[in-house]
Amino acid sequence: MNIEAADTFQARVARHAALADPARLRIVDLLTLGDFSPTELQAELGMSSNLLAHHLRTLEDAGLATRHRSEADRRRSYLRLAAGALDGLVPGAVHGADRILFVCTRNSARSQLAAALWRQVSAIPSTSAGTHPAEHIAPGAIEAARRHGLDLPHLAPRSLGEVAGATDFIVTVCDAAHEELARLGGIHWSIPDPLRLGTKDAFDQAFEDIARRITELAPRITAA
């Protein structure tokens, strides 16, 4: 067995060992849907902060989860499922929905991209809105979509109050929107705001992150 194969094998062992604990398996189940702060996980699981910290370190050490700071409140961090963490362990469908509503602050980039990408992979309708909508879609989002073969519809950003329906399945795609709307439920994807840097790479990274998450989520959502 060469070094690369041995490392790969040990990584698999670590993932299986981490998932063997019921609490950690529950955390990973939650992270397959979206991103959670430690405080949110603590409330969901009903465990002490010290015990939760132990489980989170184990998941991070095994390469199953990663953590980063909130762009809105720097005191808060979010855990997310590491890319490829569950290759070969696909979870089943867990939600029914009439419509998917993607929400970010300005409805000018991330939520617009998410709604358009969703329409490519699912027959369940999708739309988008902002908590504080901008005047127009960000040119960087339009250009990133075109680079990836996707045309964004010419829709002006809209407010959440104009768009939201009582039965929508809400997906927040920015930290500020999630922290403002956490009471509404749904799931959260902590996607860095490409407008902060305004670069081609920032928009491409946001596009690719959203596209991967949609590909993983779509098989788990069924028409209500």
Q: Domain locations in the chain?
A: 3-81, 95-223
Express as a percent the part of the chain with pLDDT over 70.
94
Is the domain spanning 95-223 CATH 3.40.50.2300? The answer is: yes
In Å, how far from its chain's centre is CA 201? 19
pLDDT averaged over every residue in the chain? 91
Is the pLDDT at 91 greater than 60? The verdict is no
- 22-26, 63-67, 75-79, 182-186: which range is least confident on average? 182-186
Angstrom distances, CA of residue 102 to CA of 118, 164, 187, 216: 10, 10, 10, 16
| Res 94: pLDDT | 67
Q: Is the pLDDT of residue 185 over 60?
A: yes
**How many whole angstroms separate alpha carbon 11 and alpha carbon 70?**
28
Q: What is the pTM of this model?
A: 0.76
pLDDT value at 108 more than 50: yes
pLDDT digits (tens, 9 = 90+) for 158-182: 999 999 999 999 999 999 999 999 8
**Assigned fold of 3-81:** Arc Repressor Mutant, subunit A (1.10.10)
Q: pLDDT grade, residue 51 (50/70/90)? A: very high
Tell me how crowded residue 143 is: count the other CB atoms within 10 A of its CB. Answer: 14
Determine the average pLDDT of the residues in 79-100. Answer: 79
> What value does the mean pLDDT take over residues 79-95?
75
What's the pLDDT score for residue 88? 58
Tokens, residue 127: 């739309």
Q: Which residues contact 44 (CB under 8 A, 6 or more apart)?
A: 30, 36
Whether the CB-CB separation of 31 and 55 falls below 8 Å is answered with no
Query: For residue 74, what are the β-bridge partners?
Result: none
Two structure tokens written together for 23: 């609490």
Distance CA 109, CA 124 (A): 21
